[in-house]
């Protein structure tokens, strides 16, 4: 009996299905364990409760003394004041910085501008946090205080405008949580990859994996000069800005 083309095709697909099922039954199937990774096991870190740092943090300032800080100018003990558990900028004494240096890190720092409003624009509650002593995250009383956008609180000075203005009122404590990836340089000093940073200001993201294009210059363009680890530097800009509860985690 002559078979039609339709019957031939039907027999072909039936046979193909049979062979496929047979092959699947004979071939070992992967187990869920095949994609499980058990090593290395992440170390246990206990989160801090309230204002306490996590268990693996390096406490840079706990409100008591300047044991972890030096004057940027001469390396001596800072001449800033300590009042009510906070360090306060003393006008004209200069910047201070950590004794220890860092590469990639998570930094927590709380700051407060004076409750008595004096000046305007850049003259009102001005300070700054320099990452690796070079890249300034601006500290400023930007609550109802207009200035150039790449110079207000949450900006990387003269480079990157914050996504939003999350400033609290003068005299209220504010928080920066900073996740920083240091730049990488080639053997010949050229830039391989720029620094990147995410900043959360009072619980609000104001910089999101932002590229830092080099040093934050007051005049001129950023510079990329090869460097290794660097300290955290706090700026004396002439205003009595306060800092407290400063801790860092190396990444």
For residue 124, give the CATH number of its domain: 2.60.120.560
User: Average model confidence (pLDDT) for the chain?
Assistant: 92
Residue 42 in domain:
no
74 and 177 co-located in one domain: yes
* pLDDT tops 60 at residue 168: yes
143 and 245 co-located in one domain: yes
**In contact, 132 and 185? CB cutoff 8 Å:** no
Residue 62 in domain:
yes
pLDDT in tens, 221-242: 999 999 999 999 999 999 999 9
27 and 72 co-located in one domain: no
29 and 101 co-located in one domain: no
pLDDT at 5: 60
173 and 94 co-located in one domain: yes
CA–CA gap between residue 95 and residue 71 (Å, rounded): 6
Maximum alpha-carbon separation in the chain = 108
13 and 91 co-located in one domain: no
Of 9 and 201, the structure prediction assigns the larger pLDDT to 201
13 and 122 co-located in one domain: no
Domain interval for residue 9: 5-35
Domain count, the chain: 2
Residue 11 in domain:
yes
- Bond into 40 cis (ω within 30): yes
Of 16 and 153, the structure prediction assigns the larger pLDDT to 153
20 and 133 co-located in one domain: no
Of 117 and 148, the structure prediction assigns the larger pLDDT to 148
* pLDDT tops 80 at residue 31: yes
26 and 66 co-located in one domain: no
Q: Which of 5-9, 73-77, 204-208 has the lowest mean pLDDT?
A: 5-9
pLDDT in tens, 78-94: 999 999 999 999 999 99
Residue 70 in domain:
yes
Residues facing 127 on adjacent strands: 139
Task: Give the number of other Cβ atoms within 10 Å of residue 140's Cβ.
Answer: 27
Residue 97 in domain:
yes
Q: On the CB side of 114, how many CA atoms lie within 13 Å of its CA?
A: 16
80 and 115 co-located in one domain: yes
Residue 53 in domain:
no
132 and 69 co-located in one domain: yes
Mean pLDDT over 153-159 rounds to 98
161 and 91 co-located in one domain: yes
Residue 144 in domain:
yes
- Grouping H, G, I as helix, E, B as strand and the rest as coil, residue 211 is strand
pLDDT at 121: 92
pLDDT in tens, 50-67: 888 999 999 999 999 999
pLDDT at 34: 86
Residues facing 71 on adjacent strands: 96
Residue 50 in domain:
no
Mean pLDDT over 102-126 rounds to 94
Strand intervals (E) in the chain = 58-61, 69-71, 81-83, 86-88, 96-98, 105-112, 127-131, 135-139, 174-181, 184-185, 191-193, 195-201, 204-212, 233-234, 242-250
């Amino acid at each position: 009996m002559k078979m039609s083309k339709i019957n031939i095709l039907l027999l072909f697909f039936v046979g193909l299905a049979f062979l496929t099922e047979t092959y699947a039954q004979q071939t070992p199937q992967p187990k869920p364990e095949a994609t499980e990774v058990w090593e290395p096991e992440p170390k246990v870190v206990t989160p801090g409760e309230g204002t306490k740092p996590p268990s693996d943090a390096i406490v840079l300032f706990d409100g008591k003394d300047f044991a972890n800080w030096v004057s940027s100018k001469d390396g001596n003990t800072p001449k800033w004041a300590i009042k009510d558990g906070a360090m306060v900028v003393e006008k004209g004494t200069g910047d201070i910085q950590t004794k220890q240096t860092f590469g990639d890190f998570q930094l927590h720092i709380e700051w407060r501008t004076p409750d008595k409003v004096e000046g305007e624009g850049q003259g009102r509650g001005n300070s700054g946090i320099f990452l690796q002593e070079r890249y300034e995250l601006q500290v400023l009383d930007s609550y109802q205080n207009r200035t150039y956008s790449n110079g207000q609180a949450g900006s990387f000075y003269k480079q990157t405008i914050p996504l939003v203005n999350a400033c609290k009122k003068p005299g209220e404590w504010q928080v920066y949580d900073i996740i920083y990836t240091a730049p990488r340089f080639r053997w010949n000093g050229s830039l391989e990859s720029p620094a990147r940073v995410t900043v959360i200001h009072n619980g609000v993201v104001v910089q999101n994996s932002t590229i830092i294009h080099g040093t934050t210059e007051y005049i001129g363009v950023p510079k990329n000069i090869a460097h290794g680890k660097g300290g955290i530097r706090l700026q004396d800009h002439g205003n009595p800005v306060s800092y407290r509860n400063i801790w860092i985690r190396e990444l």
